Chain A
């Protein structure tokens, strides 16, 4: 069967289940395409030989009742994978091989999927363009000069370029949704507490959440169903009744009330984004949804609050990378000297910047003015959403304030880079689920995404809305395989 890599996850699962394809055939196809696609720099660590072996083993005794039977998959290099190097995109973990497996990836392997390798990402997931990775930037398959978004840039690039049928990323302030938007793919950030954080290299613990990235909503739904489990090993994991999302997926969203928050019409937003949003509203209406204007008054404060809370937690989370126990160590005259050299050489500029910001905002004398105030803002933002959800079932916004930007365009302007998260960050601060779906192109032909934000634990609802709108939008990605060698 030709064009295996062009098939969606759902098609591949179906073909394997009815034995039209073997896991080996599928795995080989994606491995070969990945090997031909080195130019994208989507992978940090490849594990192709093992993947092919596992596929062979799967075919010898296939368990076709599994949800991801023999499906090959590469994952973001923030998930710890047993016996396979896990770097978090950082020099400081360049040689780190975990002896353990993250709960989310374990859930995936338990359903029969096969690991192909680890995908590039911004260093410790700190970035919006995948340019902070120690392993170099990643190219967007849409255009070689474009960033794929970040921090899950290797993941978005790999899915869009069909190097992996599906993947997982992590989203702390938009790191799944923004790259999905930049690459014309679908990305879901689940409710905080839906997916276990156990075994995921931490960036900002109160915001980090793993989620699926796919070429369409249906695939995304199936993967969410697999990865979302209650986990006693993560104290912030929540034991709620999880739907069988893929079974309950429906395009019938008649009568759903969808809110349009006026505060998301930010100054300087390109007309293209405004137009996309209007189009999105029309699509939603076409699907039978009711559109309601709402207000989220504290939206403006979300980004500053985020850039206090996230670095504060990061500054503490990253203290463990000190050269003492594992990972990179620079020699020093004494303990302090070793710390300084290890961390100066081991961390890149953006990570160091955020560690410094975080250390500053937690310092005695500044804690109340920054960290405590940011936590209060966070509460207000959550209250805004709670108020809004008394009137609506979901909220529709653009995913990003622009399409993908050029590599190097924002590297010297961190604030402009941070502004890219303006629509996604409030969702993390409130712990809500949000999905980005491709909804159109800008004048340059670059993809643009729409974000649907749901109530906590109401993934099913936003998946349904996304599923219904996806059909109306009928998006087609313009990918020419320019990088394939």
Chain B
């Protein structure tokens, strides 16, 4: 157990409690069509326009597995460094609900397609490994809409049958921050792989959170509660914090914790009981007789392995080794595939160190301010690369570069053109500079005399004057050199 200062503990009286968290993440498989039908999966379509006879469970309709979704699940498994099960079985999870047309969800119960794996988290005090228990494929249900009519519930089956990957972690997480890092890492890996877009607003990534608490140092797990369907990281963190404190209070009060399913109320910031263990559904799982066990060959898996791109952990290692980035810089740049692609495009033709600083510094700040993703950046990688080269070859100073950058943010303009049009080119002609400097010294004779008599601090004053007169365009290095000689 780590003894570092970032350890997340809940203190009550003389007792310290540790929080134990496991996540069941439901990630929508990126796929044109559903898990067992050919219906489209586009988000935001008119209700019930992406529903086949299979999705609506018409009599005699049969599921046929979508091979692409199987590939996506296996790729994700490979990304999670997990065991791929060459034989997996689809089961029926039976329950009645208006938005579940078949009366059962096709899922994988005993034999999931992916077994144990792991995810590495970069926490402020070092790396942490989180175990993956399993990943299985299942169908999403439809959507019940209760608030459009006082008496009736409306059902939209567009989502019915969409492929989900349920990724179950081991109870290895210990704080809301780790949960945050875990979800982000998982999302990052899946986005690298192109297997899930990770869009939590559209519901492509949702999670059930299992929370329990135990006295620090205890080896036994406490009774856990499951918080259902929390759809943002922030809410997950809030729910965990509330739930852990609720459980600690119960224990401190001498009460026991009931194993139950709870809902997080985002408005009141509290969890409340949804159903107890006794009320838990008996899902009557059994192998779906409409589907044969899913068998994949070694070749099938090997082929998919060859399609796996460089993933964030490997990319980070390469960035550190090849480009001499700090772990901090590398982490930021690999956190999502678009950022790393952008970075790699910029440094194709420009200095790595400058590019790193400009992306992590100016660009991120500017994008943040405008609330833009890197993919929406007004400045293309090519043009940022040109800007960096203008600095590197001394055409413009770093300071001027910032002005140019600001203009580039208004629209993706070639920085060279901006420099030319606005006459921002750095003055590096020694003769021209000399003339400028001589004039500044002449205009400030008294100060020059003071300088010569030992007031060396005035050197800065002269530099400032020269820059001012040049409109900021004078090459600072040359100005320094010439000034020293002339004074």
Contacts and interface: CB of A to CB of B under 8 A. Distances in A.
B291 interface: yes
B7 interface: no
Interface string B154-182: 01000000000000000000000000000
Contacts of B153: 335
A288 interface: no
B64 interface: yes
Contacts of A100: 53, 58
Nearest to B155: A324
Among B92, B94, B155, B290, residue most surrounded by chain A Cβ atoms (within 10 Å)? B290
A326 B291 contact: no
Contacts, number: 97
Interface string B287-299: 0011110000000
B91 to A, nearest CB: 10
B284 A363 contact: yes
Contacts of B102: 319-320
Contact of B96 (A79, A88, A312, A322): A322
Interface in B121-168: 153, 155
A474 interface: no
Contacts of A312: 286
Contact of B290 (A80, A102, A236, A325): A236
Contacts of A80: 59-60
A94 to B, nearest CB: 13
Among A93, A232, A335, residue most surrounded by chain B Cβ atoms (within 10 Å)? A335
B327 interface: no
B194 interface: no
Nearest to A334: B153
Contacts of A235: 62-65, 290-292
Given A316-B284, A319-B94, A206 B289 contact: yes
Given A320-B102, A322-B96, A339-B96, A362 B286 contact: yes
A320 B285 CA distance: 16
A202 B58 CA distance: 10
A326 B94 CA distance: 20
Among A88, A200, A364, residue most surrounded by chain B Cβ atoms (within 10 Å)? A364
B57 A325 contact: yes
Given A96-B59, A339-B96, A205 B104 contact: no
Interface in A96-117: 96, 98-100, 102
A234 B62 contact: yes
B59 A98 contact: yes
Contact of B104 (A88, A98, A319): A319
B98 A324 contact: yes
Contact of B286 (A79, A233, A339, A367): A367
A325 B56 contact: yes
A364 B103 CA distance: 18
A126 to B, nearest CB: 15
Interface in A304-324: 312-313, 315-316, 318-320, 322, 324
Interface residues of A, number: 43
A58 to B, nearest CB: 27
Contacts of A363: 282, 284
B378 interface: no
A199 interface: yes
Contacts of B59: 80, 86, 88, 93, 96, 98, 201-202, 320
Interface string B185-215: 0000000000000000000000000000000
Contact of B284 (A86, A88, A233, A364): A364
B382 interface: no
B101 interface: yes
Contacts of B58: 98, 100, 325-326
B381 to A, nearest CB: 45
Given A313-B289, A335-B98, A320 B62 contact: no
B94 A316 contact: yes
A477 B102 CA distance: 44
Contacts of A199: 60-61
Is chain A's binding surface mostly helix, strand, loop or mixed? loop
A359 interface: yes
A234 B65 CA distance: 10
Given A100-B53, A325-B57, A320 B101 contact: yes
Given A199-B60, A234-B62, A205 B290 contact: yes
B176 to A, nearest CB: 34
B101 A362 contact: no
A371 interface: yes
A359 B285 CA distance: 11
Contacts of A236: 289-292
Contacts of A316: 92, 94, 103-104, 284, 286
Given A319-B96, A319-B102, A200 B60 contact: yes
A201 B285 CA distance: 22
Contacts of B61: 198-199
Contact of B60 (A201, A204, A359, A364): A201
B271 to A, nearest CB: 25
Interface in B9-65: 53, 56-65
A197 interface: yes
Nearest to B93: A316
B282 to A, nearest CB: 5
A362 B102 CA distance: 17
A315 B286 CA distance: 11
Interface string A323-365: 0111000000001000100000000000000000001001110
Interface string B65-94: 100000000000000000000000000101
A200 B60 CA distance: 5
A364 B286 CA distance: 11
B410 to A, nearest CB: 54
Interface in A45-75: none
A338 to B, nearest CB: 9
A100 B291 CA distance: 21
Interface in B216-269: none
A359 B62 CA distance: 21
B62 A198 contact: yes
Contacts of B289: 204-206, 236, 313
Interface in A194-213: 197-202, 204-206
Contacts of B103: 316, 318-320, 322
A367 B98 CA distance: 26
Given A198-B60, A202-B290, A206-B289, 19 more contacts: A96-B59, A98-B58, A102-B60, A205-B289, A232-B64, A234-B62, A235-B64, A235-B65, A236-B290, A315-B284, A316-B284, A319-B103, A320-B57, A320-B59, A320-B101, A325-B57, A359-B284, A362-B286, A367-B284
Interface of A: 79-80, 86, 88, 93, 96, 98-100, 102, 197-202, 204-206, 232-236, 312-313, 315-316, 318-320, 322, 324-326, 335, 339, 359, 362-364, 367, 371
- A-B pairs, top 10 by smallest CB distance, nearest first, are A319-B103, A206-B289, A205-B289, A362-B284, A320-B57, A199-B60, A201-B59, A80-B60, A364-B282, A200-B60
6 contacts: A197-B60, A201-B60, A204-B289, A235-B62, A320-B101, A362-B94
Interface of B: 53, 56-65, 92, 94, 96-98, 101-104, 153, 155, 282, 284-286, 289-292
